[in-house]
Chain A
Amino acid sequence: TQLLEQSPQFLSIQEGENLTVYCNSSSVFSSLQWYRQEPGEGPVLLVTVVTGGEVKKLKRLTFQFGDARKDSSLHITAAQPGDTGLYLCAGGTQGGSEKLVFGKGTKLTVNP
């Protein structure tokens, strides 16, 4: 069974601070996706990374896929209250059982 461990599980910070969320596994994934979910809504895709070592930037968010494609990180610079939400990573598997495996998420609260 392929598992994705996210850390930390909960994070509460002040507006303007930086933070990093981690997504780790012992398995190799063909791709890694990051989603943000707000209360009462479904997850919204932020980014997909597919190449080991790949770095993608989305405004104040920086996503990195590990060289071995087993882990990923999300770094937010100068967090804002609008960044509050549940951040989920999901690994794409292949080889006869293609599906997305999700981590349990990091619940981020950014206080004004």
Chain B
Amino acid sequence: KAGVTQTPRYLIKTRGQQVTLSCSPISGHRSVSWYQQTPGQGLQFLFEYFSETQRNKGNFPGRFSGRQFSNSRSEMNVSTLELGDSALYLCASSLFPLETQYFGPGTRLLVL
């Protein structure tokens, strides 16, 4: 069974631009969560989607948004990028919310 895949793996953007990251969950998994990982703050929860609905949202500004499609694939978008948005963005999938999460390899975003 294929694991969680994230694209792209690496991304370089400049301040003010926007970016869209993609996550394909493990086949059959319907819950997708997104996390931001930085050396200073560690892993921080962004949001969780289940059956195309956002169930939970972390404490991030409205520039961070996401969505989930009917095939459970998910995207997250960051608008008006800031230098502090440079981070590893991780996606995790599970069969249902609160069940064991399986993480993808992440997308490393660098904002210049």
Given that A42-B90, A45-B100, A99-B48 are contacting pairs, would A104 and B106 also be in contact in the complex, using a CB cutoff of 8 Å?
no
Contact B42 A105 (CB under 8 A): yes
Given that A43-B90, A48-B100 are contacting pairs, would A102 and B44 also be in contact in the complex, using a CB cutoff of 8 Å?
yes
- B100: chain A residues within 8 A (beta carbon): 45, 48
- B42: chain A residues within 8 A (beta carbon): 88, 102-105
With an 8 A cutoff between CB atoms, is A92 at the interface? yes
Nearest to A48 among chain B residues (CB) is B100
Count of chain A to chain B residue pairs whose CB atoms are closer than 8 Å in the complex? 49
Q: Which of A35, A99, A102, A105 contacts B56 (CB 8 A)?
A: A99
| Chain B, interface SS category | strand
Interface range on chain A (Cβ under 8 Å from partner):
20 to 34
A100 and B101 alpha carbons, distance in the complex (Å): 10
Contact B90 A97 (CB under 8 A): no
Contact A88 B43 (CB under 8 A): yes
A92 to chain B, nearest CB (A): 7
Given that A48-B100, A99-B58 are contacting pairs, would A42 and B43 also be in contact in the complex, using a CB cutoff of 8 Å?
no
User: Which of B43, B56, B100 has the most chain A CB atoms inside 10 A of its CB?
Assistant: B43
10 A-B contact pairs sorted by A residue (CB < 8 Å): A42-B104, A42-B106, A43-B103, A44-B103, A100-B33, A100-B45, A100-B101, A102-B43, A104-B41, A104-B43
Q: A residues bordering B, Cβ < 8 Å? A: 35, 40-45, 48, 88, 90, 92, 94, 97-105
